[in-house]
């Protein structure tokens, strides 16, 4: 039998999600069978899977010691320093300037070398996270960036902060995300782009379609370089490849974009500057008037500078 008192770090989440983390190796069918059999109790009372945990409550799960040993296997972790630039850190959040080429989360091709794993190692090194003790919550990013997009990523160190950040990024009313993109051509005036996007699940490509999901972007010129423009992009929706498809649709493809860009120009750019990634950077995050646990971030702005290589390229094409 599993009996555990819920800590402050584990509270405010659904009990089924907690058990999915605690018994991380268990099949989902096993987890939800526990609820059907009424084998999950809080303070002696049977609860459903959507019950929200509170600090100090006693969780009882009727599983054998053999099942606990089989399904409760905390991730292995090593103490290492974080090699990427920390833009901001406090007891609730960590903001990282992610380099190009690094996944935020693992995928089929890569599970080990990810920004999330590096952040967990860093927090373990600092003594702020222990996978053997913090089984109900794992520090996590509140949003994502493509592998080949650099810039700001916010991690939450505790569940209440993650929940607040996820709401902010979903609603987008009290938070602004600004990107920098180097595009082909001179953008002379700001663009409001309102074009729904549809993703082809087989190819992974995204296109503008009336059958797609609403997608809105605002683009304004920032600096001019020879035959290029460095533009600022603010997104009001967070669709896959939104900025890349929207800019390409207006004949301002992002330099280095291997899916939606000018392939001939990309090759020339690679030959000249040894740069073959999309020139897209999550440059700035602005908090407005927010409430709750993270209210102290109200009216704060966080900025991630371009890399030295990108600045060198911009200086060469002036």
CATH code (residue 145): 3.30.2350.10
Of residues 107 and 293, which shows the higher confidence score?
Answer: 293
Q: What is the pLDDT of residues 208-253, one digit of tens each?
A: 999 999 999 999 999 999 899 999 999 999 899 999 999 999 999 9
Domain boundary pick from 23, 47, 71: 71
318 or 33, greater pLDDT: 33
In the prediction, which pLDDT does 98 show?
94
Number of domains in the chain: 3
Provide the pLDDT confidence category of residue 74 given band limits of 50, 70 and 90: low
Residue 68 has pLDDT above 90, yes or no: no
The answer to whether residues 314 and 212 belong to one domain is yes
- Which domain-ending residue is among 71, 97, 125? 71
Q: Is the sign of the CA dihedral 144, 147, 152, 158 positive or negative?
A: positive
Range of the domain at 35: 2-71
Q: Identify the three-state secondary structure at position 40.
A: strand
> Are residue 92 and residue 144 in the same domain, yes or no?
yes
Residue pair 107/163 in contact (Cβ under 8 Å)? The answer is no
Contact 103, 111 (CB under 8 A): no
Angle at 246 between CA 243 and CA 247, to 5 degrees: 80
Give the global pTM.
0.80
Are residues 242 and 198 part of one domain? yes
Mean of pLDDT values over 63-90:
79
Domain shared by 54 and 20, yes or no: yes
Do 37 and 164 share a domain, yes or no?
no
The reply to whether 141 and 155 lie within a common domain is: yes
Q: Are strands 280-287 and 150-156 parallel, antiparallel or unpaired?
A: parallel
Q: What is the mean pLDDT of the chain?
A: 90
Give 116-128 pLDDT, tens digit per residue. Answer: 889 998 998 888 8
Enzyme catalytic residues: 146
> Are residue 81 and residue 123 in the same domain, yes or no?
yes
For the stretch 154-189, pLDDT in tens is 999 998 899 999 999 988 889 999 999 999 999 999
The rounded radius of gyration (Å) of the Cα atoms in the chain is 23
Assign 134 a pLDDT band (cuts: 50, 70, 90).
Answer: low
pLDDT at 18: 87
d(CA 288, CA 290): 6
Choose the final residue of a domain: 110, 138, 171: 171
């Amino acid at each position: 039998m599993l009996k555990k008192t819920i800590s402050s770090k584990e509270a405010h989440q659904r009990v089924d999600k907690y058990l999915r983390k605690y018994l991380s190796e268990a099949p989902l069918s096993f987890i939800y069978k526990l609820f059907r059999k009424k084998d999950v109790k809080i303070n002696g009372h049977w609860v459903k899977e959507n019950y929200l945990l509170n600090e100090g409550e006693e969780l009882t799960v009727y599983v054998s010691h053999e099942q606990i040993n089989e399904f409760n296997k905390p991730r292995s972790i090593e103490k290492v320093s974080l090699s990427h630039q920390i833009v901001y850190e406090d007891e609730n959040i960590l903001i990282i300037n992610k380099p190009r080429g690094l996944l935020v989360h693992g995928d089929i091709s890569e599970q080990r070398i990810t920004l999330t794993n590096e952040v967990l190692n860093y927090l373990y090194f600092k003594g702020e996270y222990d996978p053997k003790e913090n089984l109900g919550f794992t520090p996590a990013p509140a949003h994502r960036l493509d592998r080949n997009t650099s810039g700001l990523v916010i991690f939450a160190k505790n569940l209440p902060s993650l929940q607040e950040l996820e709401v902010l990024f979903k609603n987008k009313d009290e938070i602004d995300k600004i990107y920098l993109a180097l595009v082909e051509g001179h953008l002379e005036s700001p663009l409001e782009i309102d074009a729904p996007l549809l993703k082809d699940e087989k190819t992974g490509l995204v296109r503008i379609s009336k059958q797609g999901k609403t997608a809105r972007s605002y683009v304004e010129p920032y600096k001019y370089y020879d035959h290029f423009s460095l533009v600022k992009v603010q997104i009001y929706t967070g669709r896959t490849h939104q900025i890349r498809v929207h800019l390409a649709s207006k004949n301002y493809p992002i330099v280095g974009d291997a899916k939606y860009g000018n392939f001939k120009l990309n090759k020339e750019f690679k030959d000249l500057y040894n740069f073959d990634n999309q020139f897209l950077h999550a440059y700035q995050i602005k908090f407005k008037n927010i409430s709750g646990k993270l209210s102290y971030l109200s009216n704060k702005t966080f900025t991630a500078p371009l890399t030295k290589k990108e600045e060198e390229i911009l200086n060469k094409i002036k």
